[in-house]
Amino acid sequence: MNATAPRRIWLCADDYGLSDGVNRAIRELIERGRLNATSVMTVTSAIGREAVAALQASMAKSPRCAIGLHVTLTAPFRPLTLHFRPLDGDMFLPFPKLLRGGMLRRLDAELVHAEVLAQLDAFRELFGRAPDFVDGHQHAQLFPQVRDGFLRAVKERAPDAWVRQGGRNAPLSQRLAAPKALVLDTLSAQFRKKAAKLGLRFNPAFAGAYDFTRAPDFGALMRGFLEGLPEDGLVMCHPGFVDETLTALDPLTTQRETEHAYLASDDFPALLALNKVTLS
């Protein structure tokens, strides 16, 4: 590649299908060329034929935009399969309990496998094709035992899709300064090995994790995310407009509007140009 050519990266908006406000914000940014990927939840009430048709119409205006499946295995959502366990009432476990269950080897990879197959089938039913990539809500695809069932299901139903790992391309000092991202680095090491063994492709590097509760300057964060990100590296984002459904389902609310405002601003394409990065 020419040394002066821009790096092409993936900027992926998670959670399409979470709420109408999230859906609308993601579609708007796709139409403006400010995103080139989004991942879709199939277990939520805000996904259906109308939401899918609207997304496809937006993607027609940005034909290089990829669409993936956002596998969802944590509360407050419910499984598509009847026999998924363990549950919290009739819902998936909260993600700390799911992670702990995997670390203690208390999960059943076969039940995870069946649920991911069901979500992949639901995606195909909605879109008429397999997803371009597959990732996971709250990074659950990286958890021990979960990753075994997840990767095997992708290999069976969507072998040409790539899967998302959460490891960064950053110096050790930078990784140690961000505890959340360091956990993702650690979990991703085994995920990459298992994906490679199955012949599944994955993104070479990942960025986008931060402490949502501190409402930081998203523009400053984005500058850090782009630093050192290689060709085909992925930045995760969560743009959205707050509505009642979002407030009821997810603690990440107003920061989604902050992310949307920055990505929709003139500052964002200027930052891409300054860093010789492209989404096209």
pLDDT tens across 128-155, in order? 999 999 999 999 999 999 999 999 999 9
The strand pairing partners of 16, in sequence order, are 40
pLDDT bin (cut points 50, 70, 90) of residue 174 is low
pLDDT bin (cut points 50, 70, 90) of residue 216 is confident
pLDDT score at 172? 53
Q: Quick check: 38 pLDDT over 90?
A: yes
pTM: 0.94
pLDDT score at 2? 56
pLDDT bin (cut points 50, 70, 90) of residue 42 is very high
For residues 272 and 11, is the Cβ–Cβ distance under 8 A? no
Q: 123 in helix, strand or coil?
A: helix
Helix runs in 128-251, H state only? 146-157, 172-176, 179-197, 218-226, 244-249
pLDDT score at 105? 96
pLDDT bin (cut points 50, 70, 90) of residue 165 is very high
Query: Which domains does the chain show, CATH number per domain?
Result: 7-275 (3.20.20.370)
